Structure 1
Amino acid sequence: MSGQPNPSADPAVTPEIEAAIDRAAAATARGELVVYPTETVYGLGADALDPAAVERVFETKGRNRSKPLSLGVASVDAALAHTQPTDIEEACLRRFLPGPVTVIVARDESVPDALTAGRDRVGIRIPDHPIALALLSETGPLTATSANRSGTGSVRRLEDLDEGIRDRVAVAIDGGETDGVESTVVEPATGTVHRRGANADAVEAWLESER
């Protein structure tokens, strides 16, 4: 996209990683699952706009269907193609993303109920990681959820990926060890921080300044 940095130009996106991204993109286009690194933990990705693919994520994680998944995209502009944020929601998106923050905004009809557990809002995640951004630039929206079985610890190294998950994914991209701190989840419309994680103090200070 014009004016946007090219994540594939980052030194972390080696030819080997680029080939893995291409394989992962092809896999998600077929409705399959992939694992990818972010600046927080490893994520489990599938086409976020395909209800059947989203269902495979729930099955693989053993996650309760009443718990929504987030929408991973490569840029705020990409998020705006699938959401209807208010002014304060868009301001929050542009202030903290890319980064380890999940911003809950109003979704549009392109986002399936399967992803949001029927809610009219969706969490937006734009990872501040060159490999994740390069993948999302190629695939479009993917599920943004940790690559672990529900109730178990998040995965910081690919070698720690649960075998049950490894057996169900088509491609796992190795980006080395991640920081391991989960993203902060914020809902600007209500001024609520649903989960304190990375950058939580900055998010709370921004919310206070917007009152």
Structure 2
Amino acid sequence: MTDFDESPPGRLDGALDEAAAAIERGETVVYPTETVYGLGADATNAEAVERVFETKGRNRDKPLSIGVPSIAVAQRHTQPSERSLRFMRAFLPGPVTVVVERDPALPDAVTAGRDRVGVRIPDHDVALALFERVAPTPVTATSANRSGAPSAVRVADLDPDLRDSVGAVIDAGEAPGGGSTVVDPERNVVHRRGAMGDAIVAWLADETGTEPDVEG
């Protein structure tokens, strides 16, 4: 495992290259986002996805989201409706997970066999730079913590066993914390209300003419 501290741009470029190489080898990595630190792996590689579940101790019936650098890359792995595309253009990049129809080529392990998948385009330069380096491969987007444990906002918060098991850790300093809002625009459902929740609910109500179903 390689750690990279918050540092000048030249060193950060090297950190990103090393993390991208780890993802390409099928390993897991820890990377920063505009909410918390995430645990990434090649979301098209079923074995790499399995490593994410093992590292987190996560139940296989709980789906993972995918992280990509742009809507164009997202469309290579998903089949969003026109409404979902309008929503994505309005709110991404940002602390939002947009649930859309998956492409059948994504491994069932990512979505726990479901026909929909969450898409993240973080509003964070380091995360986007990592995703650009491995594009068009999507990266798993899930918090870098053992399931049930608090999310990490600093590398120092990482579970020691988790930290030792990954191929690279990119340290970009303290993350803001909080969680993304999880929303299915086509079905007018907010699965989890987090950052930008009020604006998202208002957009959906205006777009559909009905108040969205807010589950949490």
TM-score range with shorter-chain normalisation? over 0.9
Aligned AA for 1:108?
Answer: D
Q: Please state how far the C-alpha of 1:93 moved relative to its aligned partner.
A: 1.2
Which 4+ runs in 1 deviate beyond 6 A?
none
Question: Which residue number in structure 2 is paired with residue 8 of structure 1?
Answer: none
For 2:116 and 2:90, the matched residues in 1 are separated by 19
Q: Helix, strand or coil for the counterpart of 2:62?
A: coil
Secondary structure of the corresponding residue to residue 167 of structure 1: helix
Distance 1:197 1:130 in 2: 21
Runs (5+) with no aligned partner, structure 1 = 1-11
> Which of 72, 82, 106 in structure 2 is aligned with 1:111?
106
Query: Structure 2: which amino acid aligns with 1:175?
Result: A
For residue 95 of structure 2, what is the aligned residue in structure 1? 100
Q: Hey, what does 1:51 align to over in structure 2?
A: 46
1:56 alignment partner, SS class: helix
1:31 CA displacement: 0.3
CA–CA distance in 2 between the matches of 1:20 and 1:110?
30
Alignment partner, residue 3 of structure 2? none
For residue 27 of structure 2, the aligned residue among 16, 27, 32 is 32
Number of equivalenced pairs: 200
* Match status 1:161 vs 2:158: yes
- Using the TM superposition, give the Cα deviation of residue 13 of structure 1 relative to its aligned residue in structure 2, in angstroms: 7.1
Counterparts of 2:111 and 2:170 in 1: how far apart (Å)? 26
Question: Does the aligned pair in 2 maintain the 1:71–1:142 contact within 8 Å?
Answer: yes
For structure 2, the residue ranges without an aligned partner over 5 or more in a row are 1-6, 209-216
Which residue in 2 is equivalent to 1:21?
16
- What TM-score do you get using the length of structure 2 for normalisation? 0.91
1:21, 1:97 → 2: CA distance? 22
Separation in structure 1 between the aligned mates of residue 154 and residue 26 of structure 2, nearest angstrom:
25
The answer to whether residue 64 in structure 2 is matched with residue 69 in structure 1 is: yes
- Check whether the contact 1:13–1:130 (CA below 8 A) recurs between aligned residues: no
Q: How many Å apart are 1:111 and its aligned residue?
A: 1.2
